[in-house]
Each structure stands twice: as structure tokens, then as C-alpha cells.
Amino acid sequence: MAVFSPTINVMTAAARKAARGLLRDFGEVEQLQVSVKGPGDFVSQADHKAEKMLRVELGKARPGFGFLMEESGETTGDGRHRWIVDPLDGTTNFLHGFPHFAISIALEREGELVAAVIYEPVHDEMFWAEKGSGAYVNDRRMRVSARKTLPDTLIGTGIPFRERGDHPAYLKGLAAVMAATSGVRRAGAASLDLAYVAAGRLDGFWEFGLQPWDIAAGILLVREAGGRVTDIAGGHDMLATGNVLAANPHLHLPLGSLLKEAGRKE
């Protein structure tokens, strides 16, 4: 059985505590769907409540650490440690009563990701990892898939919505991946997509224009599960570029080449 370190204990306890409020609020969303006002304001409040809970719990356990959080931004701490937190990844899913969302927490030490937790409360799945110690879901070790050729693969992605992103460019990449694989899935929570790559449920994942709190924890999970994570161009500053490509070692290069070739086409 996997044994939580003190750091992972702190992170998982904070995630579970914040998730209790999210689950209570999620139970109200279905009723709000039929109201004139709709659930938007309610979900925004749920997001803020979860973030406040995470800040309190993580700050109480590690008072010197800084924070980078989706709602409240960055708080400088000791200059060495930083929590990178998304209190509700999959807000649109939550808003519509779609049961696929997560809390994502990463710990960065001197610029390096060293611990990660992604908690999916609907199915009570706790994905976690520490640098050099492997990746786990609950108490089971995770590894990326072993598939070696693109036609056998299931790939995750994130689709830009409304005015965000370059839709024509994205659609070229999507068309190329659809033609080369067994299927593409867009589930609406990047942290969980990366956790699913780590667990071997998805063979790869790509998306553009993400924020550090969307991907920090998932990057470490994939790495510790034996996968490769870069940006689309093959660089390693994903938290700055917001672009991410994750896959098992057999598929990372061919999937990246497919996407880059699609991006070069007129």
C-alpha cells in the first residue's frame, strides 16, 4: 500500500475538506438549472469558497509558502515554495451539472514541481505524486499506457470556446489527430485529462492557452507515471507558454509531429 508523506497528507486533507463544500454545492446545481437567474453566480461562489478553504488549510500547515491561485492571484511567501492551486477545474461542467471536475494542487520548490494532488470528488479518486516517488490513484500505482502506434490510441484535448484561441488553427490539429487515432475526447477539465494520461486511460493529451494552475499538478503526475510532457514545440516551460503535450514515451514524438505538421499547413 502506498504511504503518504507529510506533504501529500497536507495536500490531500486540504483537497478533501474543500471538496465537501463543492459536492454540497454541486448537489444544488441541478435545481438551479431551471431558475431564471441560472446557476452562474452560485457556481462562482462555490469556486471562491473552495479556494478560501484551500488557502486556509494549506497556509495553516505550511505558513511560509507562497500561493498562485486562480481566483486570488499570487501571494509571495518564503521565495522558495509556492502552492499552485485550481479550486475548481471544470467550472463549466460544474455549472451544467456535468459530474466531471476536480481540485488541483501542486507544490513548487525553487521553480521545480515536487508534489501534486488532483482530486476528483464525484468518484472519490485522489491522484497524487511526488518527484522521484511515482504516481498513484488512491493507493494504486499508476503508469502511462503502453500503446505504441497512433491508430490504437485515445487522445484527450481541450477545445477553445467563444472568442478564446485560434479556432481555425486548432481545427487543423484536431482534424489531423481524428484521422490518425481511434478517437479524441474533450472532457472539459485539463487537470483530469493529464491525470488520465498518467493512469493510462488516455494515451495522450494536448491543449493550448492554459494557465499554470490548470496543468502544474498534472505535469508531475504524467512524469512520475513514466510519461513525457512538453509544450507543442518540444520546450519545457509549459507553465509560461500555457501549451501542453503529454503522452507515453512511444507516442509523444509522433503526436507532436502530427500537430506541428498540421500547424504548418495553409
What is the domain-level CATH number for residue 95? Answer: 3.30.540.10
Contacting residues for 105 by C-beta, under 8 A, at least 6 apart: 11, 14, 15, 54, 58, 83, 84, 85, 86, 116, 117, 118, 217
Give this prediction's pTM.
0.93
Q: How are beta strands 112-120 and 102-109 bridged, if at all?
A: antiparallel
Same domain flag for 216 and 252: yes
Domain boundary among the residues 125, 142, 159 is at: 142
pLDDT tens per residue, range 153-184: 999 999 887 666 678 888 999 999 999 999 99
Domain boundary among the residues 142, 164, 194 is at: 142
Q: Is residue 49 part of a domain?
A: yes
Angle among Cα 111, 237, 62 to the nearest 5 degrees reads: 25
Give the HSE-up count for residue 151: Cα atoms under 13 Å, Cβ half-sphere.
0
Q: Is the pLDDT of residue 265 over 70?
A: no
| pLDDT over 70 percentage in the chain | 92
Instruction: Please report the pLDDT score of residue 266 as a whole number.
Output: 46
pLDDT tens per residue, range 206-243: 999 999 999 999 999 999 999 999 999 899 999 999 99
- Higher pLDDT among residues 76 and 10, named by residue: 10
Task: Please choose, from the candidates 15, 13, 96, the residue with its C-alpha nearest in 3D space to the C-alpha of residue 51.
Answer: 15
Same domain flag for 130 and 12: yes
* Number of compact structural domains in the chain: 2
Contacting residues for 180 by C-beta, under 8 A, at least 6 apart: 150, 151, 258
Q: Is residue 107 part of a domain?
A: yes
How would you list the strands of the sheet with 81-89, edge to edge? 73-75, 66-69, 81-89, 102-109, 112-120, 125-130, 135-137, 140-142
Same domain flag for 258 and 171: yes
Same domain flag for 10 and 136: yes
φ/ψ (deg, to 5) at 156: -100, 155
The Cα 212–Cα 45 span in angstroms is 22
The Cα 263–Cα 51 span in angstroms is 37
Q: Is residue 1 part of a domain?
A: no
Task: Please choose, from the candidates 8, 2, 6, 3, the residue with its C-alpha nearest in 3D space to the C-alpha of residue 130.
Answer: 8
Same domain flag for 125 and 211: no
Same domain flag for 165 and 238: yes
CATH code of 207's domain: 3.40.190.80
Same domain flag for 24 and 134: yes
Same domain flag for 95 and 154: no
Instruction: Please report the pLDDT score of residue 35 as a whole number.
Output: 46
How many C-beta neighbours within 10 Å does residue 185 have? Answer: 14
Q: Which three cell numbers stand for residue 55?
A: 488557502
Q: Is the pLDDT of residue 34 over 50?
A: no
Same domain flag for 103 and 19: yes
- Higher pLDDT among residues 3 and 64, named by residue: 64
Instruction: Please report the pLDDT score of residue 13 as a whole number.
Output: 98
Q: 216 is in which domain, residue-wise?
A: 150-264
